[in-house]
Amino acid sequence: MSIGSDIKEVLEEIGIQYTIFPGGDLVNGISGEYGIDKINVLTTRPFFNEYVKTLMISYDSQLNNGDLIEISGENRYLIVSLDNFHVEGSTYKRIGTLYKANTSGEFRRRSTTMISGGVPLHSYAQREVSGGYVLSQAWETLLPYDAYSLLTTFSIEKLDEDAPEGAILERAYQLYTLSAYGIRELDQYVIGADKYVINAVHPYKYAGLVVCTVSVDQRE
C-alpha cells in the first residue's frame, strides 16, 4: 500500500467523521470521510484560539477551498485553505485550515419592480409613485438554505467633540463568509431578529472566502 492509502486507513480507524457541503450548499452534503482535527495551543492570539483549527484529511478527499463542513454532526466550519503534502510527486495527505462558523442566517437583496397602481405589494415594500407607476422595493432571499459565517466584533475609536475625552469607542463588525454565496455590497444578513448591512466585500487572502465590513441595518 502507498503512504497515502496507509494514512487514509488510519484516519478511518481513529479519526472523526465529517460532512462536506460544497460551497455551503446544505442540500447536497457529502459524507463518509474522516479526519483528525487540531487546535494550535501555542498561539496566544484570541482569534486563533477561539475560531481556528486544522484538519488532516486523506489525499483523495473531496473537500475544497470555500466549502462548509460539519464535524461529528455538531459544529460547522468554513474551509479557508487546503495544503497538499507530497512524496515522490504524489499527494499523501492534505491539511485544511478551518474557521468556526459561529452564526448562520439569511442573505437578502433588495429588488425594485415597476408595476401599475393597485397591485398588492410585499410586506417589506416601499411605494413611490412615479409617472403613473409604482416602484416596489422588496427583500428577496438569495439562498434556499441558511448561510453559515464567522461574525467577529472589535472596537474602533471614533472622534466625538461632545465626549469628555474627545473620542468614543464604537463597536464594529467583520464577517467572514463563503464567496460561493455571491453576496454584494448593500445586501442584508439576517440572524434571527438582528439585521446587518454589507458595507463592503473584500476578497480574502485565500480563495473561497470573502471578508465583509458590516453594521446594524436600519433599513425596513
- Are 46 and 83 found together in one domain? yes
Name residue 210's amino acid: V
- Are 34 and 84 found together in one domain? yes
What pLDDT is stored for residue 53 in this prediction? 94
- Are 83 and 156 found together in one domain? no
What pLDDT is stored for residue 162 in this prediction? 58
CA distance 92 to 161: 61
Residue in 217, 64, 214, 82 with CA at minimum distance from that of residue 149: 214
- Classify 118 in phi/psi space as left (phi over 0), alpha (psi -120 to 50) or beta: left
Would you state the cell numbers that stand for residue 72, as one nine-digit string?
461529528
Would you state the cell numbers that stand for residue 189, as one nine-digit string?
444578513
Residue 84: domain span: 3-101
Domain final residue, candidates 66, 101, 136: 101
What pLDDT is stored for residue 39 in this prediction? 87
What pLDDT is stored for residue 122 in this prediction? 47
CA distance 29 to 39: 25
- Are 131 and 75 found together in one domain? no
CA distance 51 to 185: 25
Sign of the alpha-carbon torsion through 209, 214, 219, 220: positive
Domain final residue, candidates 71, 101, 131: 101
CB 114 within 8 A of CB 127: no
- Are 115 and 201 found together in one domain? yes
Residue in 37, 33, 156, 184 with CA at minimum distance from that of residue 99: 37
CATH number of domain containing 108: 2.40.10
- Are 92 and 140 found together in one domain? no
Considering the entire predicted model, what is its pTM? 0.82
Would you state the cell numbers that stand for residue 187, as one nine-digit string?
445586501
**Around Cβ 72, how many Cβ atoms within 10 Å?**
10
- Are 75 and 36 found together in one domain? yes
CB 149 within 8 A of CB 143: no
CA distance 192 to 197: 14
Number of domains in the chain: 2
pLDDT mean values, one per 10 residues, the chain (220 residues): 90 96 95 93 82 95 96 92 90 94 96 62 47 71 96 69 56 92 96 96 89 92
What pLDDT is stored for residue 161 in this prediction? 55
Would you state the cell numbers that stand for residue 39, as one nine-digit string?
487546535
- Are 124 and 176 found together in one domain? yes
- Are 120 and 210 found together in one domain? yes
**Distant-in-sequence contacts of 156-165, Cβ < 8 A, 24+ apart:** none
Domain final residue, candidates 101, 126, 145: 101
Residue 187's Cα: distance from chain center in Å?
A: 14
What pLDDT is stored for residue 48 in this prediction? 86
CA distance 23 to 203: 16
CA distance 94 to 10: 14
